[in-house]
Structure 1
Amino acid sequence: MHVLLSGIVGSTAYGLAHAGSDLDRLGLFAVPTEELHGLHRPAESQVTSRPDRTMHEAAKWCRLALGCNPTATELAWLPTELYERRTPLGDELIGIRASFLSAGAVRGAYLGYAAQQVRKLRSRAERGPLDEEARRRSEKHARHVLRLLRQGTGLHRTGTLEVRLPDPAAIRAEAVRMVADPTVGETRLARAEQEFSKPGVLPEYPDERAAEAWLRRVRAAFY
């Protein structure tokens, strides 16, 4: 495995980690190019636990990022100190990260996932009081709903992904309120939908040419 870029993601990157939080790692790698020409293609992802690490092959990462998958996308926007490995090809990818973004994909990925989680929080609340474990899980999901809405609308307005949240304490407090009263999440979701209805800075389509050119440089490097 030729690791091109890897770093610490998830709650630690967002500033939402607490004493018991797992340390999540994400990265991308390139297989030797000749392995792509055989009868059986190599695995596109490798996932391990203890440590929690997800690695995507370069082409798969590009496809995820072109769809504005929030988890894949954040790898190219991490604060510098959270990268654990950066190669020249990884730096090139960071340099073209904005080319993967598009208005519809950002809206669909960030707003779509948040809306799904808000519906789940409402459904849980309607089933009755939560036990302690269920409440902790719900608050975690609520924090990530708020994070996704913040990041998605920020991307829509500015074209820049803010991975580290400036106000994690406020996010935690609002997540507690959201679990106690699901209308808090529904109100937040409605505000985000209004933000997305306004003109933004993202293009209608991503620049696939930049991703294709980068991927071809990766294949040439490991031929």
Structure 2
Amino acid sequence: MARHVLLAGIIGSTAYGLAGPGSDVDRIGVFAVDTVELHGLRAPRESYVTTRPDVTLHEAAKWCRLALGANPTATELAWLPPDLYETRTALGDDLVALRRAFLCAPRVRAAYLGYAARQLRTVERRLTGPGGANPRVAKAARHLARLVAQGRQLYRTGTVEIRLADPEPVRRFGERVAGGDLAAAYRLLAEAGDDLDRGRSPLPDRPDDEAVERWLRAVRAAHLAVA
């Protein structure tokens, strides 16, 4: 398992305010390998994923690549409310302070709407497949609405609130779609795309790769010695 965890916290439905009685608690984190491991014949492991408990840990370089691509799950780790962090080192704090450097308007639009489109395909497949509506349809629809809301916010303002200010409309949307209103899901995604196409973003056209590179090199310097 990962040794040097730099930053880790609770994400998913619990973080969004959408958790129900049977919801799992999802966690994500960033870890560093001993720098010497990067010079061997075989590359060190970049991710550790477990279920029960649901934990995903990414090595620092991989997490940076994911965040530079505006991957929503990776991105949210850097924007969690303080009470949801379970591990915060000095380098983890530096990463949170650097979170805007990973962002750029084109990638935020593409990633958030792209992941929302994947949730829409999941909704459609589950709703029209054998058995029809089931609780997993509502869950996928909720995540569709959540991704759209957070993507719009991040694109428009350059910041994102992981904990939804009012989760009830998202819950109601999930139930409406699960009840058969697939058109509402298509409409939500189309309206979001139109909205972002019309609006302007304070985010730059490219992320600050140099700032990210400096942080990653600081991680490597801090882990030169083999413990």
Q: Aligned with 2:78: secondary structure?
A: helix
After TM superposition, the structure 1 = structure 2 runs for residues 63-142 of structure 1, keeping only pairs within 5 Å, are 63-127=65-129, 130=132, 135-142=134-141
The alpha-carbon deviation at position 122 of structure 1 amounts to 3.1
Q: Secondary structure at the match of 1:77?
A: coil
Letter in 1 for 2:84: L
CA distance in 1, matches of 2:124, 2:174: 13
1:38 is the counterpart of 2:40 = yes
**Residue 182 of structure 1: aligned partner:** 182
CA shift, 1:127, in A, is 4.3
Query: Which residue does the alignment assign to 2:215?
Result: 214
Q: After superposition, what is the alpha-carbon deviation per residue over 1:78-118, rounded to whole angstroms, capped at 9, x for unaligned?
A: 00000001000000000010110111111111101212322
Structure-2-length-normalised TM-score: 0.93
Partner of 1:158: 157
Stretch moving more, 105-114 or 145-154: 105-114
Ranges in structure 2 where 5+ consecutive residues have no aligned partner: none
> Equivalents in 2 of 1:35, 1:222: separation in Å?
10
Q: 1:171 to 1:50 in 2, by over 3 A?
A: same
AA in 2 matched with 1:149: V
C-alpha distance 139-67 of structure 1, shift in aligned 2 (>3 A) = same
Task: Name the TM-score, length of structure 1 as normaliser.
Answer: 0.95
Q: Distance in 2 between matches of 1:9 and 1:108?
A: 21
Q: Which moved more, 1:105-114 or 1:54-63?
A: 105-114
Whether the 8 Å CA contact 2:16–2:164 is kept in 1: the answer is yes
Q: 1:168 aligns to what?
A: 167
Distance of 1:29 and 1:49 partners within structure 2 = 18
State the Cα deviation string for residues 35-59 of structure 1 (Å, max 9, x = none).
Answer: 1001111100011122111100000
**Greater shift in the superposed pair: 206-215 or 119-128:** 119-128
- 1:123: how far off? 4.2
Q: Is the 8 A contact 2:137 2:177 kept in 1?
A: no
- Aligned residue pair count: 220
State how far apart, in whole Å, the 1-side matches of 2:124 and 2:50 are.
32
For residues 20 and 121 of structure 1, the distance between their equivalents in structure 2, rounded to whole angstroms, comes to 20
